[in-house]
Structure formats: C-alpha cells, structure tokens
Amino acid sequence: MDLATIIGLVCSFALVLMGMLMGEGSMLDKFMTFVDIPSVAIVLGGTLGCTLTSTPLANVANLGKIMKNAFFAKPIDTKIVIDQFIDFANRARREGILSLEGAVNAIGDDYLRKGMQLTVDGMEPQIIEEILNGEIDNLESRHQTGIELVNALATFAPALGMIGTVIGLVAMLKNLNDPSAIGPAMAVALITTFYGAILANLVFIPISNKLKTRSAAEVQLREMQLQGVLAIAKGENPRLIQEKLNSFQPPKQRQAT
C-alpha cells in the first residue's frame, strides 16, 4: 500500500473539514450546511455521465482497477533486478545459454520471462528488442488510457459543479421578492462548485499525477530489463552488464563493479 497517497488524501480532507467546522454553532449543523443531495447528484451523476459519453464503456468499467494502482504498488528493487541479471550472465558464460532454461521458467515477471525465453530459444537480439519494445509501447498505451480517464473525471467534475451553481442561481433569481431567502439559496447554489472543486483538486488530479509517476517507474524498469536481456543475448561480460544496468539507478544506489 502506498502510504503517501493515503496520508495525502487524509490530510487534504481533514484540513478542508476543519475549515468547514470552524465558527459558532454545533459541529453537526456546520457540517450539514455543506450537505446538499441534489448538488451531489448533479456533480457525481453528471461527471459519470460525461465520462461515459467521452470514453468507451470498457475503459470506465476498469476505473476501480485504475484508481487502485494509486493506492497499491509493488516496490521496485532495482538492486534485485541487477543481481538477477549478473547471475544469469555468469551462468550463461560458464554453462552456456541453454543452462538458463530452468531459471527462466521460475521467473514470476511475465515480461522478463518472455525476454529471457526468447534469448534461450536463440532469437536474434534485434528481434528480441523489437518484441520487447512492442510490449513497452503497449504498456505505456494502457497506462495512458487509464490516466486520460482520471483526467476526464478531473475535467468534468468542476464543470458540473459550475452547471449546478448556475441551476441554483436561476432558481434563486426567480425568488428575489423574498430577500431573506437569497442568502441560503446562494449558499446552496455554491455548494455544487465546492463539490466539483473538491473532487477535482483533492482526488482526481493528485491520483492522475500518481498514476503518471507509477507508469514512468514501470516503463523505466522494463527498459532496464530490456537492456539486461539484450546484453545476455549478445553474450556480454557481466561487469559490462552491471555498468549498463547501474545507469538506470540514482548515483547513490549504484553498485560498485
């Protein structure tokens, strides 16, 4: 679980809630001032409807899985990846490339297993590179689809909030003959804008940015694995392989050769 995402959401909503509950009166009354069911329906329903209009249903159906990626992610330990390739390279030099077949079958990572299997099968490095680059391109495309979906939600939520506000203002202006009703009606009209802004700026935009970070990290890992697979396919020296893979790490984390 990504604690940064959880802590960020909790802190953001806690501070907003604190602002909502400031002032005189009971906490329940102050909280209920910001609750308006029609406004919730306009913002949530309208946002979902606009998203369905602009995005294929199959993509929207995956929204839960997409959002989950912002909260759950497997930590990437590049040191383990490098050590694994160094082990592969040493075994291939001592016993030949076919000696890796048993180790390849035990690899849990589908991408790495495919690359190493192609290597063990004797495929040319150029063909391996084309196949694995295709996998990376498809990975980036899938990630981009998810990010665009969350971006659509971030765009539509405040827009629906403004629409709800306009609806409330129109209803209010039709009753200007009662000055005492203008203040409460104006407050209710603005709540939809509040809901839209909250969803966009506290939820959807931050999650979209987190998904971009996740995607970049996974793509970098795949590119690192690609270079390792190609190096083994070419029979390169383990020291050279380590130097190549070290270049994907921050300087402080690089292993000494």
Query: Mind listing the pLDDT tens digit for each residue in 75-103?
Result: 777 888 899 999 999 998 888 888 888 88
Judged against a pLDDT cut of 80, whether residue 188 lies above it is answered with no
CA distances for 45 relative to 59, 187, 196, 211, angstroms: 17, 21, 11, 24
Judged against a pLDDT cut of 80, whether residue 26 lies above it is answered with yes
Band (pLDDT 50/70/90 cuts) for residue 169 is confident
112 contacts 131 by C-beta, under 8 angstroms: no
Tens digit of each residue's pLDDT (9 = 90 or more) over 208-219: 999 999 999 999
92 contacts 239 by C-beta, under 8 angstroms: no
15-22: average pLDDT? 88
Each domain of the chain, given as residue ranges in start order, spans: 1-35, 37-257
238-248: average pLDDT? 88
At residue 157, the pLDDT reads 95
Q: How does the average pLDDT of the chain come out, rounded? A: 88
99-117: average pLDDT? 90
C-alpha to C-alpha distance for 26 and 28, rounded to whole angstroms: 5
Judged against a pLDDT cut of 80, whether residue 251 lies above it is answered with no
Band (pLDDT 50/70/90 cuts) for residue 27 is confident
Judged against a pLDDT cut of 80, whether residue 252 lies above it is answered with no
Judged against a pLDDT cut of 60, whether residue 256 lies above it is answered with no
Among 75, 35, 62, 251, which residue's Cα sits nearest to residue 149? 62
Per-residue DSSP letter, 42: I
C-alpha to C-alpha distance for 103 and 90, rounded to whole angstroms: 13
Among 47, 59, 58, which residue's Cα sits nearest to residue 152? 47
At residue 254, the pLDDT reads 66
